[in-house]
Structure 1
Amino acid sequence: MKNSLRATFKRGSIAGVATAGAAALLLTGCGAAPTASSTATATASDYTGCIVSDSGGFDDQSFNQSSYEGLKKAEKDLGIKVNQAESKTNNDFEPNLRAMVTAGCDLTVTVGFLLGDATKAQAEANPNSHFAIVDYGYDPAVANVKPIIYDTAQAAFLAGYAAAGTTKTGTVGTFGGIKLPTVTIFMDGFVDGVKYYNEKKSKDVKVLGWDKAKQDGSFTGDFEKQDKGKQLTQNFLDQGADIVMPVAGPVGKGAGAALKEAKAAGKDVKLIWVDSDGFLTAPEYKDLMLTSVMKQMGEAVENVVKEDKDGKFNNTPYVGTLANDGVQLAPFHDMDSKVPAELKTELDQIKKDIADGTLKVESAASPKV
């Protein structure tokens, strides 16, 4: 990680640990997908857009990084100034947010479910400042906070179907970092995608790591310790899994490490990434990458900044779906030749069916819109 991305603010000691609960995603409305901007601003702007990461950091090769890249693209396209604060622990959230307010940020983007409480506290304490938060919604709404959230189960359903259609062992696995709605929503969709494949094909592909009915499964307990992710993945491999989807930010690198070792030992194993296109953001594992469950965070962040800069801020949640391309299944890239043409056709049809409502994908953690 380059030093230029590190926070330049002294971190305080006030705790900003957010509470977890599915109620945070119970929203009553959603905004249309923001309109992309392709026109660069030639002159410097007085507008300052800022961002605060969770403890995964801006180089997590996942949702922090994607959100940060969206703000940096806004800097280039719109001519704005940017500022950032990288959180090392949950205790950094509120001090970093206060630092952004003190620095005169027009809009501060906070990244991750765990920043929900800290963002609300600072927004209510600074009603003239605008905020946006990725992966968290408020009920009731907070006047000066715009949620950027995703019905990730829809794209994860496609990933589960793809995994079931390409596994050689008949067993796949998924695990999470912390048991949060924004994590379990991936796991719900993945399990349902495998189940749908089994129903359509009269197969019995098994999923290790998550029981949707019980809402219980395998978690490392954090988003930092890659050795835990490696051990969980090894446990899955020992039980016969050949495809693993970690939903754990940087801990996903641990899964990648275990799969690389397995591949070096001659096993045909694959990795499914989340949040960003792992083939591009985690290239050290691209030879393992079947696909990724993407949330288009960069585009959403840039366009929320643009709307705010243009005086069009509102607190109506933006909800990314397959229908508005807010969530997507990434290309198969180098794995394309290993995915049967029939399976690709089926995935295209399933995507259409989900987008138009013909096929319902449900998760307890999905935004209620």
Structure 2
Amino acid sequence: MTISTRKRLLGGLVATSVVALLAGCASAPTPTSTESGAAGGAIDGFKPCMVSDAGGFDDKSFNQLGFEGLNAAADALGVEPVTVQSNSESDFAPNITSLLDQNCTLIVTVGFALASAAGEAAIANPDVEFVSIDDVVDNDFDGKTDADNIKPIVFDTSQAAFLAGYAAASFSEAKKVGTFGGMNFPTVSIFMDGFAQGVAYWNEVKGDTVQVLGWDTAAQDGVFTGGFDANQDAINAAQGLVDQGVDVLLPVGGPIYQSAASVIRDSGREIALIGVDADVFETDPTVGDLLLTSIRKGIDVGVNEAVTAAGMGEFDNTPFVGTLENEGVGLAPFHDFADKVSPDLQAELDDITAGIIDGSIPVTSYLNK
């Protein structure tokens, strides 16, 4: 099944599957200390491995976070991990096969796009454990993960993106903010939709009229580059939004933020950038001066916990979903923009966070519809 076919099928069915799966989701992953891992050691023959999505392990985003989590766990357990990078969709299945051929006992697949290949491999290799980042691996859409040897780790990033949208609306003087993504996958559009919901909430409580360009909430569609490379398509997408006058820009899709940063610098205007997945201020200081904040998801912590548990012989296939409540998602500090945002903003965001957690401020996503 191609990514595009999978995406179309997910449109009508993913919400039901995810809700059913996550009804009994695990508690938040917690970092495992090096001391405890080293003291316990790994079970005999444990060999953790990882396949990246396109973008590679140096994307300063979700692939890199997964890579860091894997290596932290492997170091603690005293084992040598094996990693393989994917350049395109056609690499996914062969890369997983190559890891199976190397006798990997745990395979972590990073990204929604690998779900089909991961599911097929897990079913065919029931003695190998799999961790799926950003997808529950329900390829037959029956409301269950396809195999008992798969642990899904997913993130309701719409909640943190809601906070980012509110902050963007507060910061914007142009009353126009923009967003664009790599491809219209649920794990990409969840950021864009949550961001738009946060802007709408700002408008509601403040009586303002800040516009969101690049995402249509009703149509659940927007501006996409067609891939996850920092290339001319990403530059064109960012330029189109900048030309319409936005002064805050949220690119969603690994390294495409680098293209947005170059457009912002060339514009000669003060336009704030919002990062995703990691705190991009920390992972890529070259764009730190542009960053209003970043929408974080704890991929590194989740991978570390899952690999460590498997390495100790305690693999747990219970799905984990990151939320504001369990700190699996969150908003990064304002860093260099701390003196530029409203002095009341952080307190407002704290109140909104509490409202999202207690349900008084609803945030919708494909994970909770």
Normalised TM-score (structure 1): 0.91
Partner residue in 2 for 1:360: 362
The separation in 2 between residues aligned to 1:81 and 1:44, in whole angstroms, is: 12
Partner residue in 2 for 1:140: 144
Partner residue in 1 for 2:239: 234
Instruction: State the Cα deviation string for residues 203-224 of structure 1 (Å, max 9, x = none).
Output: 0000000011111211111112
Task: Please say if 1:48 is aligned against 2:52.
Answer: no
After TM superposition, give the deviation of residue 190 of structure 1 in Å.
0.2
The separation in 1 between residues aligned to 2:311 and 2:193, in whole angstroms, is: 37
After TM superposition, give the deviation of residue 311 of structure 1 in Å.
2.3
Task: Please say if 1:38 is aligned against 2:39.
Answer: no
The 3 A distance-change label for structure 1 pair 121 and 150 is: same
Aligned counterpart for 1:314 among listed residues 310, 313, 316: 316
The separation in 2 between residues aligned to 1:161 and 1:338, in whole angstroms, is: 15
The separation in 2 between residues aligned to 1:94 and 1:229, in whole angstroms, is: 27
Structure 1 unaligned spans of 5+: 1-14
Partner residue in 2 for 1:6: none
SS of the residue corresponding to residue 71 of structure 2 reads: helix
Aligned counterpart for 1:296 among listed residues 292, 295, 298: 298
The separation in 2 between residues aligned to 1:95 and 1:302, in whole angstroms, is: 25
Map residues 327-346 of structure 1 onto 2, 5 A cutoff.
Answer: 327-346=329-348
The separation in 2 between residues aligned to 1:55 and 1:278, in whole angstroms, is: 19
Report if the CA contact (8 A) 1:175-1:210 is conserved: yes
Aligned counterpart for 1:245 among listed residues 250, 260, 266: 250
After TM superposition, give the deviation of residue 136 of structure 1 in Å.
0.5
Partner residue in 2 for 1:104: 103
Partner residue in 2 for 1:10: none
The 3 A distance-change label for structure 1 pair 102 and 24 is: farther
Report if the CA contact (8 A) 1:230-1:254 is conserved: yes
Instruction: State the Cα deviation string for residues 145-204 of structure 1 (Å, max 9, x = none).
Output: 111100010000000000000011110000111111111111110000000000110000
Instruction: State the Cα deviation string for residues 305-336 of structure 1 (Å, max 9, x = none).
Output: 11112222222211000000000100111111
Map residues 1-369 of structure 1 onto 2, 5 A cutoff.
Answer: 17=3, 19-20=6-7, 21-22=10-11, 23-24=13-14, 26-27=17-18, 28=20, 29=22, 30-40=25-35, 41=38, 45=42, 46-137=45-136, 138=138, 139-141=143-145, 142-262=147-267, 265=268, 267-363=269-365, 365-367=366-368
Deviates more, 1:125-134 or 1:22-31: 22-31
Report if the CA contact (8 A) 1:233-1:258 is conserved: yes
The separation in 1 between residues aligned to 2:286 and 2:118, in whole angstroms, is: 34
Report if the CA contact (8 A) 1:152-1:366 is conserved: no
The 3 A distance-change label for structure 1 pair 367 and 200 is: closer
Where has structure 1 moved over 6 Å in runs of 4 or more? none
Report if the CA contact (8 A) 1:54-1:86 is conserved: yes
The separation in 2 between residues aligned to 1:153 and 1:98, in whole angstroms, is: 34
The separation in 1 between residues aligned to 2:309 and 2:253, in whole angstroms, is: 31
SS of the residue corresponding to residue 272 of structure 1 reads: strand
After TM superposition, give the deviation of residue 43 of structure 1 in Å.
8.4
Deviates more, 1:278-287 or 1:113-122: 278-287
After TM superposition, give the deviation of residue 106 of structure 1 in Å.
1.7
AA aligned to 1:153 is S
The separation in 1 between residues aligned to 2:167 and 2:68, in whole angstroms, is: 28
Deviates more, 1:126-135 or 1:336-345: 336-345
Normalised TM-score (structure 2): 0.91
AA aligned to 1:191 is A
Report if the CA contact (8 A) 2:51-2:109 is conserved: yes
The separation in 2 between residues aligned to 1:16 and 1:105, in whole angstroms, is: 25
AA aligned to 1:358 is S
SS of the residue corresponding to residue 81 of structure 1 reads: coil
Aligned length: 350
AA aligned to 2:355 is D
The separation in 2 between residues aligned to 1:115 and 1:345, in whole angstroms, is: 39
Deviates more, 1:28-37 or 1:41-50: 41-50
Report if the CA contact (8 A) 1:185-1:366 is conserved: no
AA aligned to 1:291 is T
SS of the residue corresponding to residue 338 of structure 2 reads: helix
The percent identity for this pair of structures is: 44
AA aligned to 1:349 is D
The separation in 1 between residues aligned to 2:246 and 2:278, in whole angstroms, is: 23
After TM superposition, give the deviation of residue 304 of structure 1 in Å.
0.5
SS of the residue corresponding to residue 124 of structure 1 reads: helix
The separation in 1 between residues aligned to 2:345 and 2:335, in whole angstroms, is: 15
SS of the residue corresponding to residue 68 of structure 1 reads: helix
After TM superposition, give the deviation of residue 338 of structure 1 in Å.
0.7
After TM superposition, give the deviation of residue 253 of structure 1 in Å.
1.2
The separation in 2 between residues aligned to 1:175 and 1:271, in whole angstroms, is: 12
Instruction: State the Cα deviation string for residues 273-315 of structure 1 (Å, max 9, x = none).
Output: 1111110112211110000001110000000011112222222
Report if the CA contact (8 A) 1:198-1:205 is conserved: yes
Q: Considering only aligned residues, what root-mean-square deviation do their CA atoms show, in Å?
A: 1.6
After TM superposition, give the deviation of residue 71 of structure 1 in Å.
0.5
The 3 A distance-change label for structure 1 pair 78 and 44 is: closer
The separation in 1 between residues aligned to 2:226 and 2:332, in whole angstroms, is: 27
Report if the CA contact (8 A) 1:226-1:253 is conserved: no
The separation in 1 between residues aligned to 2:99 and 2:2, in whole angstroms, is: 15
Structure 2 unaligned spans of 5+: none
